[in-house]
Amino acid sequence: MEATKTAVAAFVCGAAVGAASTYIATRHLLPTRPQREEHTQKQQLQQQEGESVLLSDTGELTDKEPTDKASAEGEEMAAASPIPAAGDTQPPEVSSDTTHESGGHAANGQEGDVPDNANENCPGTASDSAGKSAACAGCPNQAVCASGEARKPDPAISEVHDKLKSVKHKILVLSGKGGVGKSTVSAQLAYALAGRSHEVGLLDIDICGPSIPRLLGLSGQEVHSSAAGWSPVYVDENLAVMSIGFLLPNQDDAVIWRGPRKNGLIKQFLTDVAWGDLDFLIVDTPPGTSDEHLSIVTYLKEAQVDGAVIVTTPQEVAMADVRKEINFCKKVGVPILGVVENMADSIFQSPLGGPKIMCEKMSVPYAGSIPLDQQVMLAGELGKSLRKMAPESSSVGRIEKVVDNILTRLPIPMR
C-alpha cells in the first residue's frame, strides 16, 4: 500500500516538474492569434469524434497525443491501477491519472453511447436505427449495433436494485451551480437524520471534487475490503460514508477521468459497498447535469429513488442553473422533495423574488432556508455536526425544519 502511494506520488511530482520545465522552455513559442483561431476551429471539427488537439512541446499545434516518456509511463501506470473489485485483499486505491476510455454519452440527436471508431453522424448504439441507418454503412460496429445488443438493459441496473433492497430511502442532493453549499447541506442532512436514530449512509459521487470526507472530519481515512465488499468509513455507529476521497493515494491529487471511468466507480459504490440495512442513503452529487447524474439516475431508477433535494443560494445567477436542474429531474422522472435555500440572509435578498417565488412558479416544493451563519461554516471546516457543536445556533432549528419538510414528502412519510 505504502509502496503504491510512493510510486503514484513520485509520478505526479515528476509530471508536474516536467510540465513546468516544458512551460519555461516554450513560453516564447506560444501560438499566435491566427494559430489559436485555427486551433479552435480544429477542436470544433474533431469534437464529435472525441479527438484531442494539443499544444506540442515546441509550441506547435498538433492533433496527436503526446508520446514522450513521462506520458507513456503515466498511461502505463493508469492501466496498471484498475479499480479493485470487492473482496480484494488490498484496500481499494485509485490513480488520479487520466485514462483513454472508449465511448461516451451521445451528442444531440444521438441515443446511447457513440463508439470512438463510429462513422460520422452515428445515430447512437441505443437508437432504433443503429446499424441500419445510411450513416452506418461500412462502420466496424454495424453488425453489433444491428443485432440490438446495445439496446438491452444494462445488467448493472438489476444488480444495483438487488444490492440496495436493504435501503429504505434513497435521496439525491443536487445543485445547478457549484459553491452553493450542496455538500454542506448533504453532510448536515446526514447528521440530522442520524441524530434521529436513523441508520444513514452518505455516498459522495462528486468524483472530481469530493468534499464529504472533510465535511465529516474523515480526511485521511481509508477503505478496507472484506468478504462482504468494501467497508464504508463510519462517523458514528449509525452514519456510514463512502467517497473517492478515501481511495486517493494523495488527497491533493486531481482526478482527471472521462465519463466511462467515473460511471464505473459509481456502479462499484452502489454494488460493492457493504452498506448493510439503512433507513436512508444520501447521495451527494457534483453540480450541474453531467455523466455522474445520468449514471446515478439510471442505476437507481429500478431501485426506486425517492427523490431529489436541490440546493441553491438566493442569487439569480444560482437560480438560473437550478431551473435547469429542476427540468432535468422532471425529464428523467425523479421527484423533487424540496428546494433548499442556503446562505439565506435578509441583507442579500434577490430583487427578483428569490427561491421561494421560483418554487411557486415552477410548482415544486420549497423545503426551507438555512441562514448565512458562521457556525455552519465552522462546523464544515471542523467536520462536525452543527447540532452537537453549536446547539444554540439558530441554524440548527432551520436545518431540522428542512429535514421535516423533506421527510413529509417521502412516499412513506417519516420523522
pLDDT digits 0-9 by tens, 91-122: 555 655 544 444 444 444 455 567 778 888 88
Q: Quick one: cell of 231?
A: 467497508
Q: Comparing 228-242, 336-350, 376-390, which segment has the lowest mean pLDDT?
A: 336-350
- Give the pLDDT score at 304: 87
pLDDT (0 to 100) of residue 353: 80
Question: Could you please report the per-residue DSSP string of 19-42?
Answer: HHHHHHHHGGGPPPHHHHHHHHHH
Burial (CB count <10 Å: 0-12, 13-18, 19+), residue 201: buried
Cite the annotated binding site by residue number: 122, 136, 139, 145, 176-183
Amino acid 112: pLDDT: 54
Q: 410 falls in which pLDDT band (50, 70, 90)?
A: very high
Distances from the Cα of 218 to the Cα of 52, 140, 214, 221, 233, angstroms: 37, 48, 6, 6, 8
Residue bearing cell 512551460: 23
Nearest Cα neighbor of 269 from 303, 229, 302 is 229
d(CA 175, CA 340): 10
Average pLDDT over residues 183-197: 97
Grade residue 158 by pLDDT with cuts at 50, 70 and 90.
confident
What's the whole-model pTM score? 0.68
pLDDT digits (tens, 9 = 90+) for 40-58: 555 555 444 443 333 333 3
CA distance 371 to 373: 6
Please state, in angstroms and rounded to a whole number, the distance separating the CA atoms of residues 11 and 128. Answer: 45
User: Which residues are CB-neighbours of 326 under 8 A, at least 6 positions away?
Assistant: 310, 336, 339, 362, 364
- Quick one: pLDDT band at residue 230, thresholds 50, 70, 90? very high
Residues 207 and 177: their CA atoms lie apart, in Å, by 16
* pLDDT per residue as tens digits for the range 115-129: 778 888 888 877 878
Q: Considering the chain, tell me which residue range(s) the CATH 3.40.50.300 domain(s) occupy.
A: 156-407
Residue 393 to residue 387: CA distance in whole angstroms: 8
> Which residues participate in the annotated binding site for [4Fe-4S] cluster?
122, 136, 139, 145
Task: Give 232: exposed, middle or buried? Use CB within 10 Å, 0-12, 13-18, 19+.
Answer: buried
Q: Which residues are annotated as a binding site for ATP?
A: 176-183
* 155-163 helix and 291-301 helix, angle to the nearest 10 degrees: 70
Fold of 156-407: Rossmann fold (3.40.50)
Q: Which grid coordinates belong to 241?
A: 460514508
Query: What is the DSSP secondary-structure string of 117-144?
Result: TPPTT---TTSTTTTTSGGGTT-TTHHH
- The pLDDT of residue 290 is 79
Q: Quote the mean pLDDT of the chain.
A: 78
**Nearest-angstrom CA–CA distance, 232 and 97:** 24
| Pairwise pLDDT comparison (133 vs 381), residue with the higher score | 381
DSSP letter at 262? H
Q: Dihedrals φ, ψ of 394, to 5°?
A: -65, -20
The pLDDT score that the predictor gives to residue 157 is: 86
pLDDT at 85 over 60: no
Is pLDDT at 64 greater than 50 in this prediction?
Answer: no
Q: Is residue 361 scored above 60 in pLDDT? A: yes
